[in-house]
């Protein structure tokens, strides 16, 4: 029987266990250059016993940024620092993939080159705030992307995927969830286009297909994953018929024989109604490959999900923030460090690389 501690593979990525580290924005990169900090090497190395580390969301280009101190993968400096991180993880026997990210309309002119408007499928301003310079500001009015903008963005995804390969990652994850750019194209609340990228499900998925095709120019499909959040409304997003929309999307992704599908099923502390649960169960059956479940799982619910065959692995977020040796704690039934929410985003080493291991106590 497969359990949380079973070895295996997701595509061609070998796994020591099914306890994965979720992508976690921590806002510790250098803000002017989007280069990960020296502390990030320690941070990821500390968590190398995870079956698979999925990196924090990492912008593919300068337009893809929407938060303070988030890292990029579009410059040589960034690639070089990420190489230090992957080398450190691999030296501990770990595996790590890079999550490719573009925030789309969840941004502010403060972050955009030359103070331009953020890019989006349609010029619909989100009802969200963004943070910079220790201030909270409403997101800026976005500009609807031209077909030339879309083509350039797809090309930048391809370049970012090549940079991730050069940085030594074991694979990549395409972030198409949580109300960011690719998710904005998929959902009918944020995509009101009347060209080949809007309207029908086929058209709304066109950019995601083009991004997958672009990254597959560098990576074998067995090392590429996609993240989706069909029932999520984070970042002021939604869809009139998520079951129909994401049945089409997931069924279409099946043809690529990807390494995995990473599904955001719920957000910590946010209620999930029975309708959403039924949608998720139905969509799970649509996917033919390795399935990673995410969303407020604890040890017992994760154990049940994997042993029942519902999920092939589980990603943990807050538990991994506070417990770098989460796998070892699960193995022996140890207590957990409590995460300090005040240090989740930004700051120094406190709440980032100073959480104690079991052996430190």
pLDDT in tens, 215-274: 999 999 999 999 999 998 889 999 999 999 999 999 999 999 999 999 999 876 666 666
Q: Helix/strand/coil (H, E, C) string of the chain?
A: CCCCCCCEEECCEEECCCEEECCCCCCCCCCCCCCCCHHHHHHHHHCCCCCEEEEEEEECCHHHCCCCCCCECCCHHHHHHHHHHHHHHHHCCCCEEEEEECCCCCCCHHHCHHHCCCEECCCCCCCCEEEECCEEEECCCCEECCHHHHHHHHHHHHHHHHHHHHCCCCEEEEECCCCCHHHHHHCCCCCCCCCCCCCCHHHHCHHHHHHHHHHCCCCCHHHEEEEECCCCCCCCCCCCCHHHHHHHHHHHHHHHCCCEEEEECCCCCCCCCHHHHHHHHHHHHHCCCCEEEECCCCHHHHHHHHHCCCCCEEEECHHHHHCCCHHHHHHHCCCCCCCCHHHCCCCCCCCCCCCCCHHHC
Neighbours of 16 (CB within 10 A): 18
Q: What is the pLDDT of residue 135?
A: 79
List CB contacts of 305: < 8 A, sequence separation 6 or more: 293, 297, 311, 314
Residue whose C-alpha is closest to residue 82's, from 37, 20, 127? 37
Helices 242-253 and 206-215 sit at what angle, rounded to 10 degrees? Answer: 30
Strands 129-132 and 135-138 come out as: antiparallel
Residue whose C-alpha is closest to residue 85's, from 346, 340, 353, 325? 353
CB contact at 8 A, 44 and 320? no
Q: Round to whole Å and give the CA distance between 146 and 215.
A: 21
List CB contacts of 274: < 8 A, sequence separation 6 or more: none
pTM of the model: 0.97
**Catalytic positions:** 180
Tokens of 88: 């450190």
pLDDT in tens, 173-193: 999 999 999 999 999 999 999
Q: What is the pLDDT of residue 1?
A: 81
Q: What is the pLDDT of residue 277?
A: 80
How far apart, in Å, are the Cα atoms of 24 and each of 58, 156, 167, 218, 283? 10, 22, 19, 25, 24
Percent of the chain residues topping a pLDDT of 70: 98
* 214 pLDDT higher than 90: yes
pLDDT in tens, 135-153: 789 999 999 999 999 999 9
């Amino acid at each position: 029987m497969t359990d949380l501690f079973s070895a295996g593979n997701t595509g061609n990525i070998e796994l020591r266990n099914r306890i994965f580290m979720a992508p976690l924005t921590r806002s510790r990169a250098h803000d002017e250059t989007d280069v990960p900090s020296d502390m990030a090497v320690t941070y990821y190395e500390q968590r190398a016993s995870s079956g698979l580390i999925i990196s924090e969301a990492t912008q593919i280009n300068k337009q893809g940024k929407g938060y303070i101190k988030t890292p990029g993968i579009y410059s040589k400096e960034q690639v070089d620092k990420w190489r230090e991180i992957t080398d450190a993880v691999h030296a501990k026997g770990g595996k790590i993939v890079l999550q490719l990210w573009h925030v789309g309309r969840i941004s502010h002119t403060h972050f955009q080159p030359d103070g331009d408007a953020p890019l989006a499928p349609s010029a619909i301003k989100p009802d969200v705030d963004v943070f910079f310079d220790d201030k909270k500001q409403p997101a800026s009015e976005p500009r609807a992307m031209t077909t030339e903008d879309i083509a350039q963005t797809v090309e930048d995804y391809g370049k970012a995927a090549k940079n991730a390969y050069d940085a030594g990652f074991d694979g990549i994850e395409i972030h198409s969830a949580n109300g960011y750019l690719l998710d904005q194209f998929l959902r009918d609340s944020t995509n009101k286009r009347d060209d080949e990228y809007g309207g029908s499900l086929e058209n709304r998925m066109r950019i995601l297909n083009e991004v997958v095709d672009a990254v597959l120019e560098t990576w074998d499909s067995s090392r590429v994953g996609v993240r989706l959040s069909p029932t999520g409304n984070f970042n002021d997003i939604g869809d009139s018929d998520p079951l129909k929309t994401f049945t089409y999307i997931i069924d279409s992704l099946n043809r690529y024989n990807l390494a995995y599908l990473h599904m955001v099923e719920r957000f910590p502390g946010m209620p999930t109604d029975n309708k959403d649960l039924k949608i998720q169960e139905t969509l799970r059956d649509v996917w033919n490959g390795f399935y990673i479940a995410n969303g407020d799982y604890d040890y017992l619910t994760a154990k049940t999900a994997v042993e029942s065959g519902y999920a092939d692995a589980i990603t943990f977020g807050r538990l991994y923030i506070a417990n770098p040796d989460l796998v070892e704690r699960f193995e022996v039934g140890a207590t957990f460090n409590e995460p300090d929410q005040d240090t989740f985003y930004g700051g120094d080493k406190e709440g980032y690389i100073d959480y104690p291991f079991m052996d430190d106590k």
